[in-house]
Amino acid sequence: EPTPTASVAPTPTASAESTPTVSVKPTPIVSAEPTPTASVAPIPTVSVTPIPTATPVPTATPVQTTTTLTLRVKQTYKSGGKIKSVRTTNKKIVKVDKKGKITGKKAGKATVTITYTNGSRRIYQVKVQKGIVKTIAVSVNKRNIILARKGKSFQLKVTRTPVTSQQKVTYKSSNSKVAAVNSKGKIVAKKKGTATITVKSGNKKITCKVKVKK
């Protein structure tokens, strides 16, 4: 009898299950809304029209009879105001013209009013007297002056009270070899040292010190 052939069953091949693919959903991007910018309304600029100013003569400023004084008033201003009229309460005491020039006629008091085209007004009190107007006070723009060296200069500016004073201003240096001063108040350094300048009007005076450094 023929030898039987052994039939070997093939070893079954293991079928590996494929690893499942994990599907990851992308994280949604959050779209942030921009923070609204606050809209600040600009503060409106207030345009102020300046009232024209005039330098008034002090109250009851004395003026001698037959003398003339021009009020320090500008004819026009940046705001557009112009002199409209100039009036006096008593023409027999004070005469005025459109430019602000007043003339004392006789002893007494009067009020001068200047009116501008923009509606503003300036009022001046004027006293007319027979005698000359005397200085009651003197002041200067600087009391202590330092000049660096020979040749340097400084201009003194003097204010008399009242502004209508008729007494002249004089200047004198205690040492003109150090600092000289002329009749108009100009100080000029001459050499190193110190000096005192005396300013006088009537019987009123004031002094200022000058130092020349070299």
Per-domain boundaries in the chain: 64-129, 137-212
Pick the CATH number of 137-212 from 2.60.40.1080, 3.30.530.20, 3.60.21.10, 3.40.50.300: 2.60.40.1080
Q: Record the pTM.
A: 0.60
pLDDT digits (tens, 9 = 90+) for 29-42: 555 555 555 555 55
pLDDT, averaged across the chain: 78
pLDDT band at 80 (very low <50, low <70, confident <90, very high): low
| SS3 annotation, the chain | CCCCCCCCCCCCCCCCCCCCCCCCCCCCCCCCCCCCCCCCCCCCCCCCCCCCCCCCCCCCEEEECCCEEECCCCCECCCCCEEEEEEECCCCCEEECCCCEEEECCCEEEEEEEEECCCCEEEEEEEEECCCCCCCEEEECCCEEEECCCCCEEECCEEEECCCCCCCEEEEECCCCCEEECCCCEEEECCCEEEEEEEEECCEEEEEEEEECC
Average pLDDT over residues 10-39: 51
pLDDT digits (tens, 9 = 90+) for 45-60: 444 334 344 444 445 6
Distance in angstroms (rounded) separating the CA atoms of residues 124 and 112:
5
Question: In this structure, which topology does domain 64-129 adopt according to CATH?
Answer: Immunoglobulin-like (2.60.40)
**Is there a common fold for 64-129 and 137-212?**
yes
Average pLDDT over residues 171-182: 98
